[in-house]
Structure 1
Amino acid sequence: MTELITKEPKKNNLNPIYGNMIFLEQFVESVISYSSRYNSILSILYAPENLIGNPSKYPNYGDYPNSYTLRSYGKWWNQSEAAQPDYMPQDVDRIPSEDFVTVRFKHGVFPENVHIYETYNPGAVVRLWGHLVSNPWLLLWEGDPQVCLPVARRFSPPIRQVKELVNEIRIEFNQSTLKYYTSLDAVLLTGYQPKSLLQCKLLQKGLFDCLDGCDCDIDKSIESHPCSDGIDLFADLPFEVMVHVFQYLDLKSLCRCAQVSKRWYSITFDPTLYREISLKRYWNKVDGAVIKHFISKCKNVKKLDMSWCSIEKQITEPVFIEFLERCCPNITHLSLGHCFGHTSSLGYITKYGDLTDLRLRNCKCKTEEYKALSNLTKLTALDLYCSSISDEYLINILKSNRDLKHLNLDLCELLERLDEVTEIVSIYNPNLITWSSWKTYSITSEGVKFLAQCSSLRELDLGWCLLLNDPGNCLERIATGCKDLRRLILSGWRGVNDQLLLPLIRQCEQIRELDLLGMKNISVDICERILSSFTKLKLLDISFCDLIKPEQVVLWQQHYPNVTIQQAQ
Structure 2
Amino acid sequence: MQANLIKKCDGIPECDNKFLPVEVMATDMQRLDQWAERVVNYTSKYNTELSVSYSPENVVGKYEKYPSYGDFPETYFLRTYGSWWKESEAYQQVYRPQEVDPLGAEDYITLGFETAVVPRDVCIYETYNPGAVVRIWGRYALQEWKLLWDGPPQTCPESARKFHPPIRPLNCLINEVRLEFNQSHLKYHTSIDAIVLGGFCPKKVIQYNVLKNDLLKWKISGVDEREQTADDDSTSPDYFSCLPIEVMVHIFQNLDLTSLSRCAQVNKTWNAASMDPTLYQNLSLKRYWHAVDANMLSNFKKRCRSLKKLDLSWCGTHTTNEKAFFNAVLGFIEECCKQLTHLSLCHCEIVNNAILCKIPCCKELTELRLRNVKVDSHAFHCLSKLTKLITLDLSTTKISDEPLNAILKANPLLKHINLDFCEHVELLDQVVETATIFNKNLITWSSFKATTLTHTGGMLFARFTKLRELDLGWCFLLTHPGDSMMIIADGCRDLKRCEQSNLFMLSYQNIFSRLILSQWRGANDQMLLFVISCCKKLTQLDLLGINGITGDFCEEALRTLPDLKLLEISFCDRIQDEQVLKWRQEFPHVTIQRSCKTVVSNYFN
Q: Deviations over 1:488-519 (max 9, x none)?
A: 00001111110110111211000000000000
CA distance in 1, matches of 2:155, 2:4: 35
Structure 1 residue corresponding to 2:327, chosen from 309, 318, 324: 318
Determine whether 1:58 maps to 2:85: no
Is contact 1:360-1:383 (8 Å) kept?
Answer: yes
Structure 2 residue corresponding to 1:148, chosen from 151, 156, 160: 156
Structure 2 residue corresponding to 1:36, chosen from 28, 34, 44: 44
- Secondary structure of 2:240's partner? coil
Deviation at 1:527, TM superposition (A): 0.7
Determine whether 1:392 maps to 2:402: yes
CA distance in 1, matches of 2:489, 2:438: 21
Is contact 1:229-1:261 (8 Å) kept?
Answer: no
Other-structure match for 1:511: 538
- The residue correspondences of 1:415-564 to structure 2 (distance < 5 A) are 415-482=425-492, 483-564=510-591
Deviation at 1:267, TM superposition (A): 1.4
- Secondary structure of 1:464's partner? coil
Deviation at 1:229, TM superposition (A): 9.0
Is contact 1:132-1:167 (8 Å) kept?
Answer: yes
User: Which amino acid letter does the alignment assign opposite residue 202 of structure 2?
Assistant: P
Is contact 2:451-2:478 (8 Å) kept?
Answer: no
CA distance in 2, matches of 1:210, 1:396: 65
Structure 2 residue corresponding to 1:208, chosen from 218, 222, 240: 218
Q: Deviations over 1:149-207 (max 9, x none)?
A: 11000011111011211010000000111110111000001101122243356664445
Is contact 2:395-2:422 (8 Å) kept?
Answer: yes
Is contact 1:117-1:186 (8 Å) kept?
Answer: yes
- Secondary structure of 1:350's partner? helix
CA distance in 1, matches of 2:220, 2:409: 58
> Structure 1 200/410 Cα, relative in aligned 2: closer, same or farther at 3 Å?
same
- Secondary structure of 1:192's partner? strand
List gaps (5 residues or longer) in structure 2.
16-20, 222-233, 493-509, 598-605
Deviation at 1:348, TM superposition (A): 1.5
Other-structure match for 2:500: none
Is contact 2:338-2:363 (8 Å) kept?
Answer: no
User: Which amino acid letter does the alignment assign opposite residue 336 of structure 1?
Assistant: L
Other-structure match for 2:249: 243
Which range moves more in the overlay, 189-198 or 509-518?
Answer: 189-198
Determine whether 1:95 maps to 2:98: no
CA distance in 1, matches of 2:208, 2:480: 63
Deviation at 1:351, TM superposition (A): 1.6
Is contact 2:126-2:163 (8 Å) kept?
Answer: yes
CA distance in 2, matches of 1:505, 1:96: 35
- Secondary structure of 1:127's partner? strand
Is contact 1:7-1:23 (8 Å) kept?
Answer: no
Which range moves more in the overlay, 33-42 or 473-482?
Answer: 473-482
User: Which amino acid letter does the alignment assign opposite residue 333 of structure 1?
Assistant: H
User: Which amino acid letter does the alignment assign opposite residue 377 of structure 1?
Assistant: T
- Secondary structure of 2:489's partner? helix
- Secondary structure of 2:120's partner? strand
User: Which amino acid letter does the alignment assign opposite residue 335 of structure 1?
Assistant: S
CA distance in 1, matches of 2:209, 2:484: 67
- The residue correspondences of 1:142-291 to structure 2 (distance < 5 A) are 142-200=150-208, 204-206=214-216, 208-209=218-219, 231-291=237-297
Other-structure match for 1:307: 313
Deviation at 1:210, TM superposition (A): 9.4
Determine whether 1:83 maps to 2:83: no
Deviation at 1:209, TM superposition (A): 3.6
CA distance in 1, matches of 2:431, 2:2: 49
Q: Deviations over 1:531-552 (max 9, x none)?
A: 1011110000100000111111
- Secondary structure of 1:84's partner? coil
User: Which amino acid letter does the alignment assign opposite residue 546 of structure 2?
Assistant: M
Other-structure match for 2:507: none
Is contact 1:108-1:167 (8 Å) kept?
Answer: yes
CA distance in 2, matches of 1:257, 1:58: 50
Is contact 1:69-1:182 (8 Å) kept?
Answer: yes
Other-structure match for 1:219: none
Deviation at 1:5, TM superposition (A): 3.4
CA distance in 1, matches of 2:489, 2:352: 43
- Secondary structure of 1:320's partner? helix
CA distance in 2, matches of 1:561, 1:73: 20
Is contact 1:390-1:415 (8 Å) kept?
Answer: yes
CA distance in 1, matches of 2:287, 2:591: 32
Q: Deviations over 1:252-284 (max 9, x none)?
A: 000011111111111121111110000000001
How large is the Cα RMSD of the aligned pairs?
A: 2.0
- Secondary structure of 2:85's partner? coil
CA distance in 2, matches of 1:231, 1:254: 21
User: Which amino acid letter does the alignment assign opposite residue 247 of structure 1?
Assistant: Q
User: Which amino acid letter does the alignment assign opposite residue 60 of structure 1?
Assistant: S
CA distance in 1, matches of 2:52, 2:309: 37
Other-structure match for 2:495: none
CA distance in 2, matches of 1:522, 1:548: 8
Other-structure match for 1:379: 389
Is contact 1:122-1:183 (8 Å) kept?
Answer: yes
Is contact 1:140-1:160 (8 Å) kept?
Answer: yes
CA distance in 2, matches of 1:17, 1:460: 61
Other-structure match for 2:422: 412
Is contact 1:6-1:22 (8 Å) kept?
Answer: no
Identity within the alignment, %: 49
Is contact 1:358-1:379 (8 Å) kept?
Answer: yes
CA distance in 1, matches of 2:430, 2:209: 61
TM-score normalized with structure 1 length: 0.93
- Secondary structure of 2:197's partner? strand
User: Which amino acid letter does the alignment assign opposite residue 543 of structure 1?
Assistant: S
Other-structure match for 1:567: 594
User: Which amino acid letter does the alignment assign opposite residue 369 of structure 1?
Assistant: A
List gaps (5 residues or longer) in structure 1.
212-227
Q: Deviations over 1:206-262 (max 9, x none)?
A: 453499xxxxxxxxxxxxxxxx99631212210011111111110000001111111
Deviation at 1:468, TM superposition (A): 3.9
Other-structure match for 1:221: none
Is contact 2:172-2:216 (8 Å) kept?
Answer: no
Deviation at 1:96, TM superposition (A): 1.6
- After the TM superposition, which segments of 4 or more aligned residues of structure 1 sit over 6 Å from their partners? 10-13
CA distance in 1, matches of 2:300, 2:3: 47
CA distance in 2, matches of 1:321, 1:342: 10
Give the structure with higher Rg (CA).
2
CA distance in 1, matches of 2:339, 2:235: 36
Other-structure match for 1:355: 365
CA distance in 1, matches of 2:331, 2:481: 50
Other-structure match for 2:356: 346
CA distance in 1, matches of 2:241, 2:78: 51
Q: Deviations over 1:42-88 (max 9, x none)?
A: 11111000011000000000111110001100011111110001000
> Structure 1 209/55 Cα, relative in aligned 2: closer, same or farther at 3 Å?
farther
Other-structure match for 1:218: none
Q: Deviations over 1:377-399 (max 9, x none)?
A: 00000000100101110001000
CA distance in 2, matches of 1:504, 1:343: 43
User: Which amino acid letter does the alignment assign opposite residue 68 of structure 2?
Assistant: N
